Structure 1
Amino acid sequence: MKRSMTPVSGPKDNSAADGRRARSENSRAKIVAAMLHLVGKGDIAPSAARVAETAGVGLRSVFRHFADMDTLYSEMSQVIEAQVLPMALKPLTGASWRDRLLEITQRRALVFEAILPFRISANIKRFQSEFLMQDYRRMLRLERSSLEAVLPPHVLADTTLVDALNVPLSFQTWRLLRHDQELTIAEARAVVVRLIEAILAHIDD
């Protein structure tokens, strides 16, 4: 009887595969960290060359990992959310719904400022990325649902009023004030508070 000549993978083969996988994961982690660093510093659309230089990896490695942009941006999103979600999900302490709404106003200023360059960068790329488009829509739903959670039934019944409250509390409004109008954080926050207070003045308890 002839013995099978099929090669059997040994410990060395498995070790080599594990080593390649570890190096690939390490390179990807460096690329994600480099992207976060560059975007956080204001380079909202960093070139592959800039990313490679900052990450300390080869340009070919960047192109290889960039071929799967959705996975790359997903990993970036996970890092950012881990940083801001504890702040965003912290229980509100206001005694009334009006107090809690104003508390949300202050909190969103902090959260939106923390994610400002990353959301701008993602918005530029979202039309080329299914993940980023889905993530964009998810964030819109989250903004809306967290607002609705503090509103009383008689306010929720007026969908136009809820829409009016949602606009100044949106990330897009914060981006407009900070990025387009170049207001300081304090100035942008004051504008949002003024808008919310103006709407609240026309709502009966």
Structure 2
Amino acid sequence: MDGRRLRSARTKQRIVEAYIALLRENPRIPTAAQVAEKAGYSVRSVFERFPDLHSLRLAATDHAFAQGVAQSAALDFEGDRETRIRNHVRGRSAICEHWLPLWRAVIVNQRDSAPLQSRVMLMRQAILKRIELSYVAELSTLDAVDRRATLIAIDALIDFESWSRMRSFSGLSVEEAQEVWIAAIDRLLPPTPIS
């Protein structure tokens, strides 16, 4: 990549990161001027890289999704039941802790955008896939109806808003909130089959 394109890509990345940082500071959707100031660029630079704020929101969502997938991919699906539950919860809680502000902005605005809705659907499917991979042994013992119900229950349990309620409303530390999820998932799963 030549120097000019590299600088432009870096500028674009900094703008995306500024947008996300602003959402972490305040749940209101930031303006182009706020993003530009936070990134250290002009408003013109923002609109040279993104035709509108919706495009910037999509880019931030794509960035978050890629980061979340990378975080999840690094976790181990192997081990005994307790290890798998702990690894899953540790990974999911890190994603919730880090990406909750952006997730809220995406959810609030998804009705106005088919591309945003499709990204939300992809994220939800990735979460379900992670659940299935983490608990393949236990889920394999269930019939289709019970398997689906268990997946839905675990998915609802480890939702962003569940994490937010435990952390903000209930005042739990990260470790305390993780222990709540670990105990609940352990109760939801059927017994692990003996190999």
TM-score by length of 1: 0.70
Contact 1:169 1:192 in 2 (8 A): yes
Residue in 2 that maps onto 1:194:
183
Counterpart residue identity of residue 151, structure 1: V
| Inter-partner Cα distance in structure 1 for 2:93 and 2:142 | 23
Deviation at 1:179, TM superposition (A): 4.5
Partner of 2:125: 141
Match of residue 155, structure 1, among 136, 139, 142 = 142
Counterpart amino acid of 2:164?
A: R
Contact 1:155/1:162 (8 A) holds in 2: no
> After superposition, where does 1:92-171 map in structure 2 within 5 Å?
92-96=77-81, 99-149=83-133, 150-152=135-137, 153-155=140-142, 157=144, 158=146, 159-171=148-160
**Identical residues among aligned pairs (%):** 25
Distance 2:31 2:171 in 1: 25
The letter for the 2-side match of 1:138 is L
Give the deviation of 1:135 after TM superposition.
0.9
Partner SS for 2:70? helix
CA contact (8 A) 2:15 2:35 kept: yes
Residues 162, 46 of structure 1: alpha-carbon distance in 2 compared, 3 angstrom cutoff: same
- Number of equivalenced pairs: 184
CA distance in 2, matches of 1:40, 1:61: 22
Amino acid at match of 1:160: A
Report which of the two structures shows the higher radius of gyration computed on alpha carbons: 1
Query: Against the structure 1 CA distance between its residues 179 and 134, is the aligned structure 2 distance closer, same or farther, given a 3 Å change threshold?
Result: farther
Cα 1:26/1:95, change in 2 over 3 Å: closer
Structure 1: distance between partners of 2:47 and 2:168? 30
1:54 match: 38
Where structure 2 has 5 or more consecutive residues not aligned to the other structure, the ranges are none
What RMSD in Å do the two structures reach over aligned CA positions?
A: 3.2
Please tell me whether the aligned partners of residues 148 and 156 of structure 1 are also in contact (alpha carbons under 8 angstroms). no
Q: Return the alpha-carbon distance in structure 2 between the equivalents of residues 187 and 26 of structure 1.
A: 38
Q: Which has the higher contact order (CA 8 A, sep 6+)?
A: 2
Task: Within 5 Å, give how 1:56-75 maps onto structure 2.
Answer: 56-62=40-46, 67-75=51-59
List alignment gaps of at least 5 residues for structure 1. 1-18
Cα contact 2:22–2:30 (8 A) shared by 1: yes
